[in-house]
Every structure is written in C-alpha cells, then in structure tokens.
Amino acid sequence: MSKFRDGPLDEIPFPEDLFIIPLTRNEALFLDDSFTLMIEREIDDHRITAMRPVQMTAALAVPMELMEKVGRAVVFTTHPDNGDKEYESLFDLTELLMIREIASSYIKIGEEPVGYNLKRKICAVLYGDDVEREGRDRVVDSLLQDIDTDLSSSRDEVESEQKRQPDS
C-alpha cells in the first residue's frame, strides 16, 4: 500500500479493484471500535476466530490489512494539525463489503450519522455508475417511446417504392 501514499490519491493510478473512500474522524473511530482482528487459533487448527468476542464492542472480525488502513485513518484524523480533514484510504471490494455490514444507517456519533455516511459512500462507489446508467437509459427510453424504431416496416416501404418505379 505504501506505493499509493506518495502523493494525493487522485493523482496516482491504482488498480481498478481498489476504491477511494474518505473517512472522517468519527467514521474512522467508529470502524476502529467496531473491528477486531481476525486470527487463526493454532498452527494445526485452520479455523479463524477473533481477538475479542464479536459482540456489541466488536461487530466484525477483519484481516490485519483492514485494521491497518483504519488505524492510519484514526491517526491522521485525530492529529491536531489536521483539523477536520478527511483521510482518503484505498479499500478493495471485500473490505468495502465488510464495512458496509457494520455500517447500520441509524448509528450516530454526536450529530454525525456515521453509519449512514459510510453506507452512502460505499454504495456510491460500488453502484453509482450503474444508477447513472439506469437514469440515462430511462431518459433515452422516454425520448424514443414515440418514435417508430421498427426497421422492418421501413424496409417494406423501400421495397414497395422500388417496385413502383420503372427500371431505367
């Protein structure tokens, strides 16, 4: 991930399977409070478990990479020099879906609706293009609804016209 942090994220190319999500201080803290580290129990035991029980204090066990991304967001957004700046982080699809699972729309920290905001940001990057495309398709469909797009009738008219014209 360090190769992506040498400059502003909007100027650096990155793989298409990564998505930029800006996190506020409250969003970063909420995620940090909601996650616990996913670990394997023992060397011979391939079951995966969490560092602390998954319950109200830790809603989801996540991999180390996601814990690190959220940890960097916490450090950045809580630093006094950064004020209210958001921290832009790169997440893959699996990480976004993990965040979406715990981002209940009713969760607030202070007056900030962190659950709603996180869910909105994630759905916007995952499904925003599809929604725009659907909107454009509806507009095109409404514009074309009164236009005869049946090309077979046009061919019939051309053939009929050709039959009526004498050969020259």
pLDDT single digits (tens) 7-18: 455 555 555 689
pLDDT higher than 70, residue 122? yes
Predicted confidence at residue 146, as pLDDT, reads 73
pLDDT > 90: percent of the chain: 41
Output the pTM of the full model: 0.66
**Gap between the Cα atoms of 145 and 60, Å rounded:** 49
Predicted confidence at residue 142, as pLDDT, reads 76
**Gap between the Cα atoms of 92 and 4, Å rounded:** 13
pLDDT higher than 60, residue 4? no
pLDDT > 70: percent of the chain: 67
Predicted confidence at residue 1, as pLDDT, reads 37
Predicted confidence at residue 163, as pLDDT, reads 72
Predicted confidence at residue 43, as pLDDT, reads 58
Q: Give the chain's mean pLDDT.
A: 79
pLDDT higher than 70, residue 168? no
Q: How many CB atoms lie under 10 A from the CB of residue 9? A: 14
> Mean pLDDT over residues 46-50, rounded?
58
The string of pLDDT tens digits covering residues 64-115 is 999 999 999 999 999 999 999 999 999 999 999 999 999 889 999 989 999 9
**Gap between the Cα atoms of 52 and 77, Å rounded:** 25
**Gap between the Cα atoms of 3 and 158, Å rounded:** 62
**Gap between the Cα atoms of 157 and 164, Å rounded:** 11
How far CA 16 is from CA of 23, 93, 141, 149, in Å, comes to 20, 10, 30, 37
Predicted confidence at residue 78, as pLDDT, reads 96
Predicted confidence at residue 20, as pLDDT, reads 93
Predicted confidence at residue 134, as pLDDT, reads 78
> Mean pLDDT over residues 123-152, rounded?
77
